Amino acid sequence: MKPIYKRLIFFALLLGIWELGGQIGLWAEIILPPPTKVFTSLYVGITDMTLIYDLIASFRRLIIGLVIALLIGTSIGVLIAKSKTADDTIGSMLLAFQSVPSIVWLPLAIMWFGLNEQAVIFVVILGGTFVMAINVRTGIKNVHPLYIKAAQTMGSSGIDLFIRVIFPASIPHLVTGSRLAWAFAWRALIAGELLTTGPGLGYTLSYASDFGDMSLVIGVMIIIGVIGSIVDQLIFQRVEKSVARRWGL
């Protein structure tokens, strides 16, 4: 049986058990409303454009923050990979920062930028930068020495060696870093939006929770999970597999 059919059967059974449990009162509706009410809330949110505006606002912040994170992370990764001093100093700091959850940076971001969109984008940038930098460093450090020696025997060195041999050889790690940066940035975005006052999935999630609308809370959670899964599987996994196949991995 193909994986897609297994997933469809699994989710159909899961939704059936969830609906049945809610209808016969195995748990209180205020705790876990049945799927029919959750999807009704999602339908209302989509038809009145509330969730559409939230998605647009969230993706705008995500794209801005993720692009900046990838650029900064790649630059730092190259620096610490090529400089022993930078690796011993900045590199050790990156490992420490990587262990800090993105939501921890939010109070600092609010103090610096205020309770606005800039604070959320700042948290998104931090969420993706560190993991990207570490993967770029790992990719450059793990380039096979035979590639470098072979290029050097043909007269390549310095910038030319880096551009034509080292950087292309580290592309698989860069793709993996981008995939992880997306995942961390997506989580950081939702966490940051929980405390904002503008449109966004995180804000709607917090608003619905404050007013006890559990149907909308679960609906937004489903949207967040589905978007994360779709982007990862349809974009990053395919790119990662294509690069790995082309690089003979």
pLDDT tens-digit readout, 37-87: 999 999 998 999 999 999 999 999 999 999 999 999 999 999 998 888 888
Residue 140 contacts by C-beta under 8 Å, 6 or more apart in sequence? 77, 78, 81, 82, 166, 167, 170, 173
pLDDT tens-digit readout, 174-229: 999 999 999 999 999 998 888 777 788 998 998 898 888 899 999 999 999 999 88
The pLDDT of residue 249:
60
Is pLDDT larger for residue 184 or for residue 160? 184
Q: What is the dihedral of CA 176, 181, 182, 187, to 10 degrees?
A: 140
Are 231 and 181 in contact by the 8 Å Cβ rule? The answer is: no
Per cent of the chain over pLDDT 70 is 99
Closest CA to 30 of 212, 241, 228: 212
Tell me which fold the domain 54-145+171-246 belongs to.
MetI-like fold (1.10.3720)
Q: 169 pLDDT band (50/70/90 cuts)?
A: confident
Question: Residue ranges of the domains in the chain?
Answer: 54-145+171-246
Q: What is the DSSP-derived secondary structure letter of residue 101?
A: -
pLDDT tens-digit readout, 75-129: 999 999 888 888 888 888 888 888 888 788 888 888 888 878 889 999 999 999 9
